[in-house]
């Protein structure tokens, strides 16, 4: 066509017309090429080349400026098709190019061409590749790059689902898909993302695929009238997808009923195998014909012309197609259709020829056409009405069947919208319809891929047959582990977790894929953590990185000293990287626990022989209390006074109620004690002087009514109270609560604290009614707690050796 000054090609599919249009545009430019289909019209004013569906191509080969130089009809053997054959026959007989006309089709058409077009020159192009029968194979034994052909949507879904589970998935092609969705599904297969494609017999026309084997899940189909066996020519049309140009292919059947269940495998007969392999088929003996230029005097005359007998031998009257069936149903109610003039009859016939994209059958489709005709017979469809119908379908939600139904419906409105004599604002409405179809097609492709393609399994099935160590396993910043950009799991710290969405059968495969590459990934991670240990956190005696435990502290015997035990997750880290990580963590931990140096000092003093047993006992009790104990716990009555200076030099404070090491009450020290797991008591962050009292007090605090006060602050308040008592020099004295209130302690809490230290209060009398002046202060007294006397030893039985020994000690 491109070798002539002008031309047109009629294609059986909108998809093919669009594909060739794009190729011709690349050669001739957009302004020179037109695309005309039932649902899309791109018609530049200077167009010289026309890519059309057969129904939309110029009937006599004429362009806008006269006859075209070249005309071609693709897949001309479809003139024998029950539904569309009469259109192909009309173009075969009547559409001619000024300089050249080409009829492209199967060799089975040759006798009819010789009979109907005697002057035609017949040129054959033999197939370069061969087809070989491979017999029946189970789904699990099909070779990669196979196509499985089924003849019902249910069987297509069942086969595709099994391939998804066992082979990573399959592309799906059915006649009900939009061209955009079908293209994208084919692209999944052609790109190698999946190795299998499951299709209906729609695969037999207009799709050139890199298929090596075609497996038939069945050999019968419903042709609109009955369930029948495929003809050898139809089998060959489908099997011919295997092998292209000089690449041989094979064909066979699918064992096991096609979906892995019970069922006898279909079988080719010897005659069918011979016909397919040798490419020899029974020639066509007639083509379907219908009057292409009927009269429009009335609806009855129109129907009679459409049902008239063929004008010459070799032609057979076409079976009743959907458009004629719809016209007959509307003609049953003349008052409703109200078509009396030739113009209205022609317009009615054009409405009846709206394709049944939804495959709903003549009765349902006739109701849709009748509703459309009610608007068309009075003129055009309003833009608002068409826009509302298109908007109703602009919903990409739903399952596969729902989206297929919406796509079929929007294709009807796309067909309607591109008719300039039907719709006002044609260009805008057609563009809206195409945009909605594109969105629905994207959603349908996503649903098909989501349901029938497990890309991860597909990649692993291809790769694990080779060396798993060669797998391109990568780790993303969000800890996702991927193979060829397909997630297989994630790392939690140094532990690999299989993707939660993986099926049980996939888990072993994913673990095997990750096993070889994990040491490398974990080694890189260990080096990263060792270089930046500041990202590590210490809590509850464990070191955590990104909230995952990587090591745990274990006591080494001395207080405040630990050794690190690596977590089990680090076992897969290479030895050198693991050792470097542990060294870096130990250095970080030593710095992190620096505030615990006073605890180590107390422990060293407790081991000093010069400390004496009494001081050693107190130090050990203080260490066990993590730096703060009550006087009762300390057993201070047994401590000689001459040892107190030794303990004070170690930072030990002897308070009125508590004995404590002030350095261990600082926020950093308490945080280190808590995080290292030494002190399991609650922590008061920042160690404020006063906190609300709870059932279990934070470490370093004592009760003071409804509050708790830090023990060193409590000692400061009690010391101030004793200084005031000494200065007063009397038995009764007044105490100022200002210091306590400045720390945040309320009056009642302050009074409770003083009471615990031996102070007693006598409340002042209130002022008489009507009296003025400041109230009298409360009177306080202090009574020291009696010294605790050691309990007498238990008496020994009379006459025993222990009684005699006791008597010697008393003397």
Taking the chain (811 residues) in runs of 10, the rounded mean pLDDT of each run is 95 87 94 90 92 84 70 93 92 93 92 93 85 89 91 86 80 78 86 88 77 92 81 89 81 71 72 90 92 92 93 92 92 83 92 88 90 86 90 90 89 88 88 90 85 62 48 73 72 81 62 72 88 87 87 74 86 89 90 88 85 86 89 82 88 91 92 88 91 91 93 93 90 89 92 91 79 78 68 56 59 48
CATH superfamily of domain region 131-278: P-loop containing nucleotide triphosphate hydrolases (3.40.50.300)
Q: What is the DSSP annotation of 242-283?
A: BS-TT--EEEEEESSTTSSSS-PPP---HHHHHHHHHT--PP
Give burial (CB, 10 Å; 0-12/13-18/19+) of 375.
middle
The length of the chain in residues reads 811
Which residue in this structure is represented by tokens 């992190």?
A: 592
* CA gap 519, 496 in Å, rounded: 11
Instruction: Give the residue extent of every domain in the chain.
Output: 7-116, 131-278, 291-448, 455-516, 531-592, 606-766+775-782
pTM strictly above 0.75: no
Q: Which residues pair with 468 in a beta bridge?
A: none
The CA-atom distances, in angstroms, between 786 and each of 177, 725, 783, 789 are 98, 19, 9, 9
Phi-psi region of 462 (alpha: psi -120 to 50; beta: other; left: phi over 0): alpha
Say if residues 150 and 196 touch (Cβ distance below 8 Å). no
CATH of domain 7-116: 3.40.50.300
Give burial (CB, 10 Å; 0-12/13-18/19+) of 100.
middle
Q: What is the pLDDT of residue 470?
A: 45
Q: What is the pLDDT of residue 499?
A: 75
CA angle 234, 238, 244 (to 5 degrees): 130
Which residue in this structure is represented by tokens 């806008």?
A: 64
State the pairing for strand pair 62-63/49-53.
unpaired
Phi-psi region of 339 (alpha: psi -120 to 50; beta: other; left: phi over 0): beta
Residue whose C-alpha is closest to residue 253's, from 148, 340, 396, 171 = 148
The CA-atom distances, in angstroms, between 536 and each of 479, 514, 520 are 17, 26, 21
**H-helix segments, 484-609:** 504-515, 518-531, 575-592, 597-607
7-116 and 131-278 share one CATH topology? yes
Residue whose C-alpha is closest to residue 430's, from 445, 446, 417 = 417
């Amino acid at each position: 066509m491109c070798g002539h000054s002008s031309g047109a090609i009629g294609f059986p599919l909108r998809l093919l017309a669009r594909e060739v249009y794009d190729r011709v545009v690349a050669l001739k430019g957009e302004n020179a090429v037109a695309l005309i289909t039932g649902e899309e019209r791109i018609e530049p004013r200077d167009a010289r080349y026309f890519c059309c569906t057969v129904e939309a191509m110029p009937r006599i080969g004429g362009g806008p400026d006269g006859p075209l130089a070249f005309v071609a009809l693709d897949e001309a053997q479809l003139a024998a098709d029950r539904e569309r054959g009469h259109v192909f026959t009309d173009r075969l007989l009547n559409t001619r190019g000024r300089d050249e006309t080409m009829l492209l089709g199967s060799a089975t058409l040759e006798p009819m061409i010789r009979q109907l077009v005697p002057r035609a020159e017949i040129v054959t192009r033999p197939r370069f590749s061969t087809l070989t029968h491979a017999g029946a194979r189970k789904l699990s034994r099909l070779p990669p790059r196979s196509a499985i052909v089924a003849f019902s949507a249910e069987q297509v879904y069942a086969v595709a689902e099994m391939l998804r589970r066992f082979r990573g998935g399959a592309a799906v092609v059915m006649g009900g898909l939009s061209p955009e969705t079908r293209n994208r599904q084919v692209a999944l297969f052609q790109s190698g993302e999946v190795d299998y494609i499951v299709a209906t017999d729609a695969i037999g026309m207009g799709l050139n695929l890199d298929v090596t084997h075609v497996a038939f899940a069945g050999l019968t189909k419903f042709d609109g009238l009955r369930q029948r066996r495929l003809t050898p020519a139809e089998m060959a049309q489908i099997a011919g997808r295997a092998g292209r140009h000089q690449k041989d292919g094979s064909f066979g059947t699918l064992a096991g009923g096609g979906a892995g269940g019970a069922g006898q495998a279909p079988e080719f007969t010897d005659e069918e195998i011979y016909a397919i392999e040798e490419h020899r088929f029974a020639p066509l003996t007639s083509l379907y014909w219908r009057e292409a230029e009927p009269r429009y005097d009335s609806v009855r005359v129109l129907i009679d012309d459409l049902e008239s007998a063929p004008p010459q031998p070799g032609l057979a009257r076409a079976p009743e197609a959907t458009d004629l069936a719809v016209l007959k149903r509307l003609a049953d109610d003349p008052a409703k259709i109200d078509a009396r003039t030739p113009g209205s009859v022609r317009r009615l016939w054009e409405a009846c020829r709206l394709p049944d994209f939804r495959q709903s059958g003549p009765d349902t489709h006739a109701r849709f056409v009748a509703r459309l005709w009610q608007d068309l017979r009075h003129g055009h469809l309003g833009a608002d009405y068409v826009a509302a119908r298109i908007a109703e379908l602009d919903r990409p939600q739903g399952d596969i069947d729902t989206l297929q139904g919406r796509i079929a419906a929007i294709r009807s409105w796309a067909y309607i919208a591109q008719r300039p004599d039907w719709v006002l604002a044609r260009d805008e409405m057609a563009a809206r319809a195409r945009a909605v179809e594109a969105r629905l097609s994207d959603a349908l492709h996503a649903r098909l891929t989501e349901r029938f393609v497990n890309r991860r399994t597909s990649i692993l099935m291809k790769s694990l047959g080779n060396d798993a160590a060669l797998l391109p396993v990568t780790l993303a910043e969000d800890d996702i582990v991927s193979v060829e950009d397909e997630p297989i799991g994630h790392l939690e710290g140094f532990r690999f977790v299989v993707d939660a969405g993986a099926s049980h059968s996939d888990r072993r495969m994913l673990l095997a894929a990750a096993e070889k590459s994990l040491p490398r990934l974990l080694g890189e991670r260990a080096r990263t953590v060792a270089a930046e240990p500041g990202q590590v956190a210490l809590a509850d005696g464990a070191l955590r990185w990104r909230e995952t435990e990587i090591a745990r502290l274990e006591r080494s015997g001395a207080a405040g000293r630990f050794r690190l035990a690596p977590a089990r997750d680090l076992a897969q880290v290479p030895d050198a990287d693991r050792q470097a990580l542990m060294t870096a963590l130990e250095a970080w931990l030593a710095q992190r626990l620096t505030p615990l140096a006073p605890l180590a000092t107390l422990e060293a003093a407790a081991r000093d022989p010069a400390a004496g047993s009494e001081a050693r006992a107190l130090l050990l009790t203080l260490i066990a209390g993590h730096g703060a104990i009550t006087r009762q716990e300390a057993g201070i009555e047994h401590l000689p006074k001459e040892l107190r200076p030794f303990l004070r030099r170690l930072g030990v404070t002897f308070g009125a109620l508590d004995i404590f090491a002030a350095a261990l009450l600082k926020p950093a020290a308490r945080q280190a004690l808590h995080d290292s797991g030494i002190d399991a008591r609650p922590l008061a962050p920042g160690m404020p002087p006063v906190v609300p009292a709870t059932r279990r007090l934070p470490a370093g605090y004592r009760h003071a009514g409804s509050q708790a006060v830090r023990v060193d602050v409590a000692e400061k308040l009690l010391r101030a109270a004793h200084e005031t008592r000494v200065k007063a020099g009397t038995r009764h004295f007044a105490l100022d609560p200002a210091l306590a209130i400045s720390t945040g302690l309320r009056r009642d809490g302050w009074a409770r604290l003083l009471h615990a230290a031996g102070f007693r209060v006598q409340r002042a009398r209130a002022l008489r009614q009507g009296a003025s002046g400041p109230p009298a202060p409360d009177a306080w007294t202090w009574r020291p707690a009696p010294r605790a006397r050691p309990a007498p030893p238990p008496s020994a039985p009379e006459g025993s050796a222990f009684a005699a020994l006791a008597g010697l000690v008393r003397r």
